[in-house]
Structure 1
Amino acid sequence: MVTDIVRADREIVDALAAFGSATVHEALGRIGYAGAGIRPIQHDVAISGSAITVQVAPGDNLMVHAAIEQSQEGDVIVVVPTTDSPFGFIGELMATQMQVRGVRGYVTSGGVRDTAELRRMGFAVWTAHVAAQGAVKDTAGSVNVPVVLGGVIVNPGDIVVADDDGVTIVPRARAAEALAASQSRAQREARNRARYEAGEISMDINQLRGVLDDLGVVYVPQEEYERGGR
């Protein structure tokens, strides 16, 4: 159990939520995305927060209870079972504790239950499984040590950016870089959006014709194609 973890600057952590998981993932060079297997139980919710990491035994949520005690306002609790574990590690009551402490969300490669209640109370969750079967409290694990979520290493204090597109992890040491890169990407996309709205297309804006040429793609009229002129 590691206590008093170092977190990134709060203003930077908060600002990343506005850009979303996809933009942050792209802006950092396509790193940090925890994969399509970890999905939101709600819609139209975007958060960012500092990671409290939890390693648990399959079907055992003892260390999640311990992690709640270590959490503070602005955190996201990230729970990774040692093997695939489709159990409801948390439900409404544990989420209530987290919400009261200011925890912004819960991310897991395990499972959750009471999803209707979690949505009603506005507690955000991203999970690999939804399962009615609950967990026991018999086995020790770890809190605030590195874990691997969907192939991504998550260290305590890293930044979790999560929305409808999934979860992206930003290394704490790269927080300022991630924000600057995300701002730059968003500005570029805004300029391109204006050009698309004016009638331009991505083939020209992104200079993709040369890419097709280099790959040997040729344009053939349909009549010629049907005559076997391909």
Structure 2
Amino acid sequence: MTSGHFVVRTVDRADPGPIAVLRAAGVATAHEAAGRVGLLGPGVRARQEGAVIAGSAITVSCHPGDNLMIHAAVEMCRAGDILVVTTTSPSTDGMFGDLLATSLLARGVLGLVTDAGVRDIAALREMGFPVWARAVHAQGTVKASPGSVNVPVVAAGQLVRPGDIVVADDDGVLALPAARGPEVAAAAAERLAGETAKREILAGGTLGVDLYRLRPLLDELGVRYVDRLP
């Protein structure tokens, strides 16, 4: 890519169908269905309980301690998007609060994922605007340094591209290329059906070691059942 700072207007978003399926599946099941790829590190975590979102990523690369480019990114957002904010070096400053959330809600944005910090957390919860963040920190920021919008970024060790499908819930955050949406959604739906059947079997008292046929494996690994240790 040409060096410099950019606000990229055009984003190739995934179709809404696969996004809806992956939202219903949730992060854990979607991650398994995707082949255990795309998961952000656990440092970025839910700052409320029970929120589940899935949408298309609008990515932001900011200078640490500076939220100028978040303001620039709001204009690029549309209904169903999720804002993904990173900084060019580690930062836990509160780069996002209730005023920016108000702007994003007006555009139909579903939530925020950031590898930095947020503040006004009580107000964000009251507004029903979910955030996944590395930190909650009252430290304010400036608006002075250039960055970019809708370029590939790395959040909590995971590459996130503009237009990627982002799924976020209490278990964490998953980012997948939009092109993989139909494939992963189909696999997730299949896993959900299988899990429903397994849940019924386990609820009936069948043990996991029998359902998953693990006794031969335990024996092969040298695990012995004894009544007492000598």
TM category (shorter chain) comes to over 0.9
Map of 1:103-114 to 2, 5 A cutoff?
Answer: 103-114=109-120
TM-score relative to the length of structure 1 = 0.95
Residue 83 of structure 1 and its aligned partner are, at CA, apart by 1.4
Is it true that 1:58 corresponds to 2:64 in the alignment?
yes
SS across alignment from 2:210? helix
The answer as to 2:112 corresponding to 1:101 is no
**Alignment match, 2:4:** none
**C-alpha deviation, 1:66, in angstroms:** 0.7
User: Identity over aligned residues, as a percent?
Assistant: 50
Map 1:131-150 to 2 at 5 A. Answer: 131-150=137-156
Distance 1:104 1:119 in 2: 13
Whole-angstrom CA distance in 2 between matches of 1:63 and 1:209: 56
**Paired residue type of 2:76:** Q
Look up the SS of the partner of 2:75 in the other structure.
helix
Distance in 1 between the 2:58 and 2:127 partners? 21
Q: How many residues align?
A: 224
Output the CA distance in 2 between the equivalents of 1:137 and 1:168.
29
- Distance in 2 (alpha carbons) for counterparts of 1:178 and 1:152: 18
Match of 1:49 among 55, 65, 73: 55
SS in 2 for 1:70: coil
- Displacement of 1:214 in angstroms is 2.1
* Contact kept? 2:21, 2:189, Cα under 8 Å: no
Consecutive unaligned residues of structure 2, counting only runs of 5 or more, are 1-6
1:41 & 1:61 partners in 2: Cα distance? 20
Q: Secondary structure at the match of 1:51?
A: strand
Distance, in Å, in 1 between the alignment partners of 2:217 and 2:143 is 56
Deviations 1:46-104 (A, max 9, x none): 00010001111111111111111100000000001111101111100000000110000
Equivalence map 1:63-142=2 (5 Å): 63-142=69-148
Counterpart position of 2:33: 27
Amino acid at match of 1:88: G
Which secondary structure does the structure 2 equivalent of 1:128 belong to?
strand
* SS at structure 1 position matched to 2:144: coil
- One-letter code of the match for 2:90? D
Measure the CA separation in 1 of the matches of 2:115 and 2:53. Answer: 18
Q: Using the alignment, how far apart are the partners of 1:12 and 1:30 within structure 2? A: 18
Match of 1:182 in 2: 188
Query: SS of the counterpart of 2:24?
Result: coil
Which whole-Å CA distance do the structure 2 matches of 1:30 and 1:178 have between them?
11
Matched with 2:3 is none
Could you report, residue by residue, the CA deviation over 1:30-59 in whole angstroms, capped at 9, with x for unpaired residues? 111102111111111100010001111111
